[in-house]
């Protein structure tokens, strides 16, 4: 299906991770020229298959500014980078240090990425796709820091950006994808047989998503042909997940 992304200049943040690398491959398959951002995993970023790789710590304002200077003129940005802290820590025991680190790695990094993209976009038409999480829709016990950061991305940040973006160009769009449990290196070890059986009890489609499942929706939202009149929306990629148990066992 034609997406209109051929020769588009695309930045994918977190391109060394599972979902990020899948997004790079999908955009490249559409003929886009993809700049792959990474923080630490250069080899994985290069293996994703983009046209160029750029390193930056997205929590650092000056490094983000350098990232966009090196990336050049962009049409699309997929803000995929984020961190899910694996350790289950309830709020009553959650250290302020971890709270701040998680918020910075997710919410602050996404804010700086969105700001950098819109600044370089100027008055040209573009598309920004944010990546949140179902944790931001339903919460996640033991991970309130992550859930709060993702909720802010899918709520106030997304809804403000979609109204601000059109001040620069009337057809610039901002949308978001909210993945549920997805098979990636970040969730490796957390998705064994018993865990999958438990978490899929809330899903109509009883399976864990693949990174390609998520990437397909990111590309669709970035496409001016598939989503040209869609903005401010959250596409949940979680097999019909609900905040209640759907299956007995």
Encode 89-119: b = buried (16+ Cβ within 10 Å), e = exposed: eeeeebeeeebeebbbbbbbbbbbbbebbbe
Residue 37 pLDDT greater than 80, yes or no? yes
Domain total in the chain? 1
Catalytically active residues are 146
Mean pLDDT across the chain: 94
Q: Is 148 within the bounds of a domain?
A: yes
Share of the chain above pLDDT 70, in %: 94
- Residue 129 has a pLDDT of 99
Looking at the domain assignment, is residue 194 inside a domain? yes
Which pTM was predicted? 0.94
pLDDT at 202: 83
Instruction: Report the interhelical angle of 158-168 vs 109-121 (nearest 10°).
Output: 10
pLDDT value of residue 198: 72
**Residue 242 falls inside a structural domain:** no
Going by pLDDT thresholds of 50, 70 and 90, the confidence category of residue 151 is: very high
Q: For position 90, which CATH number holds? A: 3.40.50.720
**Is residue 151 domain-resident?**
yes
User: Angle at CA 152, nearest 5°, toward 66 and 119?
Assistant: 30
Residue 204: domain span: 9-236
> Which pLDDT band holds residue 200 (cuts at 50, 70, 90)?
confident
Q: Please classify residue 201 by burial: count the beta carbons closer than 10 Å to its beta carbon, then call 0-12 exposed, 13-18 middle and 19+ buried.
A: middle
Q: What is the pLDDT of residues 69-128, one digit of tens each?
A: 999 999 999 999 999 999 999 999 999 999 999 999 999 999 999 999 999 999 999 999
């Amino acid at each position: 299906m034609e997406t209109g992304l051929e020769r588009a200049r695309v930045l994918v943040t977190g391109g060394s991770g599972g979902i990020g690398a899948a997004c790079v491959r999908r955009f490249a398959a559409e003929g886009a020229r993809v700049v792959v951002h990474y923080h630490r995993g250069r080899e994985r970023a290069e293996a994703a298959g983009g046209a160029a790789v750029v390193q930056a710590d997205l929590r650092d304002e000056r490094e983000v500014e350098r990232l966009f200077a090196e990336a050049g003129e962009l049409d699309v940005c997929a803000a995929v980078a984020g961190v899910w802290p694996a350790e289950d820590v309830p709020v009553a025991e959650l250290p302020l240090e971890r709270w701040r680190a998680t918020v910075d790695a997710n919410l602050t990094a996404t804010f700086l990425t969105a700001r950098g993209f819109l600044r370089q976009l100027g008055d040209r038409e573009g598309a920004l796709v944010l990546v949140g999480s179902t944790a931001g829709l339903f919460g996640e016990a033991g991970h309130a820091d992550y859930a709060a950061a993702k909720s802010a991305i899918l709520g106030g940040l997304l809804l403000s950006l979609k109204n601000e973006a059109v001040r620069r160009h009337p057809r610039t769009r901002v949308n978001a994808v909210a993945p549920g449990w997805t098979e990636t290196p970040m969730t490796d070890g957390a998705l064994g047989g018993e865990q999958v059986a438990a978490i899929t009890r809330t899903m109509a489609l009883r399976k864990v998503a693949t990174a390609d499942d998520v990437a397909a929706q990111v590309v669709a939202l970035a496409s001016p042909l598939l989503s040209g009149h869609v903005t401010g929306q959250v596409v949940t990629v979680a097999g019909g997940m609900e905040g209640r148990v759907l299956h007995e066992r």
